């Protein structure tokens, strides 16, 4: 009998797209071991919390959630709780000290250990902690359970070799490790054969791909190779570092038809002095120069970004520099963050920590300006014809207007009206009739291109390297909004 033996599970994900992708692997491994996804309203036998350590409230979210689960566990015989991800890698024994009712703690480098750790904890009636300091199995070699049959993540690397002073990711996920192009392309071909039409390439520093393989600059070639995969319609990537953004990548983006006209490139700050303290190895002029060259090659490109407000030592003049870059860059949207010190990072012990009241005031001004610009940029879309890929998880039909939701080629959220009948995977061509700060409405439908019938599956878990369809975990596609979650 398999380990899970029909027991139910739930995976709850906190944090970035890398965590979202890891959760798909965790779900796949649990189902391979015999566990079954819990109904949405039911209490699962096994709850896995996949954590983030980047945001200030990461600890509060974890321990608040564990507090609620403690009472559930008392009334649910045999229930198990597992904690993994970046916060587990960082805190290790601290989690069991604060929440002794947790059964399993494991880190970012040994996702494949989950089923065995759950079984060991059950048999021995004792909590299990297993934190390893180096990657044992590349996550993409593990079975997976995807939420979407249309769109998929593909990791091209894990870890990060940068030394940004505000970031703890390199300490938790290790130095950058690259997959071979052959492995990446094989996974993408398998996904397309499984019905996927949109792929997002993932890496902590995605355009540094190739450094670990001894082939710097390999990212542009990878984009071109992906463009040769028959059946792949849309390709995105996140997140690139301005330091490694070369003209070769811009050329590959512009000339590879499947690469979408959307670039998410973190700014973090518009001040050269702040960027220097952050150890971000680019300056304002380089960042704006990249955007200028991207738009010259792809005039329709939508640019999105990440910005941190209130980094130690940030002055009013520094913040004004950020506002000026925002004005010049004309971002379609942005993730915006109030700086918070993370233990273990150099920035946490820097002098001149900015008062919270000052940070909050600057943050509100920044968000307001980004919203204004995003609205202006969206208003420029009115009258244009857009191709909207209908995706699951982007919102239900509006009962009053019968609108459905999807993503334009530039990743803008579009609500399509006109009573159109379309399903996930269909592409609707429509004219934009209205613009709001964070979405477009396209009520004039011109055509609908139906997605070919997807392959039929006896089950939802794929063999290693192949991602299959399922509804086991709620894993939304990335949505970029000011003040939204990290990417």
Residue 474: what pLDDT? 29
Only one residue has tokens 């992906």, namely: 226
Instruction: Give the dihedral sign, CA 199/204/208/210.
Output: negative
Tell me whether the omega of the peptide bond preceding residue 335 falls within 30 degrees of 0, making it cis.
Answer: no
Angle, helix 247-255 to helix 284-297, in steps of 10 degrees = 20
Cα 146 to Cα 149, 462, 469, distances in angstroms: 7, 9, 5
pLDDT band at 246 (very low <50, low <70, confident <90, very high): very high
Backbone angles phi, psi at 193, to 5 degrees: -65, -25
pLDDT band at 394 (very low <50, low <70, confident <90, very high): low
d(CA 237, CA 228): 16
221 CB neighbour count, 10 Å cutoff? 16
Residue 217: what pLDDT? 82
Six-digit token pair at 289? 């120069």
Lowest mean pLDDT among 86-90, 207-211, 429-433: 86-90
pLDDT, tens digit, 9 for 90 and up, residues 321-352: 999 999 999 999 999 999 988 888 999 999 99
Burial of 396 (0-12, 13-18, 19+ CB in 10 A): exposed
pLDDT, tens digit, 9 for 90 and up, residues 154-196: 999 988 889 999 988 777 778 899 999 999 999 999 999 999 9
257 CB neighbour count, 10 Å cutoff? 11
Lowest mean pLDDT among 30-34, 222-226, 372-376, 472-476: 472-476
Task: Give the domains, in start order, of the chain with CATH numbers.
Answer: 8-130 (3.40.50.12160), 141-379 (3.80.30.20), 385-449 (2.40.50)
In the predicted model, what is the mean pLDDT of residues 271-282? Answer: 97
Residue 60: what pLDDT? 78
Cα 139 to Cα 71, 113, 216, distances in angstroms: 33, 11, 23
Lowest mean pLDDT among 3-7, 26-30, 281-285, 287-291: 3-7
454 CB neighbour count, 10 Å cutoff? 16
């Amino acid at each position: 009998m398999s380990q899970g033996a029909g027991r139910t599970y739930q995976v709850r994900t906190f944090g970035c797209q890398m965590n979202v992708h890891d959760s798909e692997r965790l779900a796949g491994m649990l189902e391979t071991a015999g566990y079954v996804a819990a109904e949405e309203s039911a209490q699962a036998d096994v709850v896995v919390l996949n954590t983030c350590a980047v945001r200030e409230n990461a600890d509060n979210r974890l321990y608040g959630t564990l507090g609620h689960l403690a009472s559930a566990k008392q009334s649910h015989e045999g229930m198990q709780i597992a904690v993994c991800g970046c916060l587990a890698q960082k805190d290790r024994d601290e989690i069991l000290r604060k929440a002794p009712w947790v059964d399993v703690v494991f880190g970012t480098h040994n996702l494949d250990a989950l089923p065995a750790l759950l079984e060991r904890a059950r048999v021995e009636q004792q909590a299990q902690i297993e934190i390893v300091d180096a990657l044992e199995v590349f996550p993409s070699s593990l079975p997976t359970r995807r939420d979407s049959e249309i769109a998929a993540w593909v990791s091209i690397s894990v870890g990060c070799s940068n030394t940004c002073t505000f970031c703890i990711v390199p300490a938790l996920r290790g130095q950058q490790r690259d997959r071979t192009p052959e492995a990446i392309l094989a996974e993408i071909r398998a996904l397309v054969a499984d019905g996927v039409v949109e792929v997002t390439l993932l890496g902590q520093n995605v355009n540094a791909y190739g450094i670990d393989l001894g082939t710097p600059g390999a990212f542009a070639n990878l984009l071109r190779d992906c463009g040769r995969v028959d059946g792949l319609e849309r390709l995105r990537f996140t997140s690139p570092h301005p330091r490694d953004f070369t003209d070769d990548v811009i050329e590959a983006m512009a000339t590879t038809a499947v690469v979408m006209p959307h670039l998410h490139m973190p700014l973090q700050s518009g001040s050269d002095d702040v960027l220097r303290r952050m150890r971000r190895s680019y300056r304002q002029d380089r960042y704006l120069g990249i955007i200028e060259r991207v738009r010259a090659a792809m005039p329709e490109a939508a640019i999105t970004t990440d910005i941190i407000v209130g980094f130690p030592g940030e002055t009013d003049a520094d913040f004004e520099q950020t506002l000026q870059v925002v004005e010049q860059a004309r971002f379609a949207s942005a993730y915006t963050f109030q700086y918070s010190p993370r233990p273990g990072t150099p920035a946490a012990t820097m002098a001149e920590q900015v008062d919270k009241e000052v940070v909050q005031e600057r943050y509100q001004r920044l968000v307001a300006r980004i919203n204004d610009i995003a609205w202006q940029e969206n208003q420029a879309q009115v009258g244009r014809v857009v191709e909207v890929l209908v995706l699951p998880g982007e919102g239900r039909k509006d009962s009053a207007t019968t609108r459905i939701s999807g993503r334009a080629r530039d990743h803008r959220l579009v609500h399509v009206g006109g009573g159109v009948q379309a399903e996930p995977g269909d592409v609707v061509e429509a004219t934009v009739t209205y613009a709001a700060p964070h979405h477009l409405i396209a009520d004039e439908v011109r055509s609908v291109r139906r997605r070919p019938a997807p392959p039929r599956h006896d089950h939802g878990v794929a063999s290693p390297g192949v991602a299959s369809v399922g509804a086991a975990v709620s894993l939304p596609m990335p949505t970029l909004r000011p003040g939204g979650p990290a990417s």
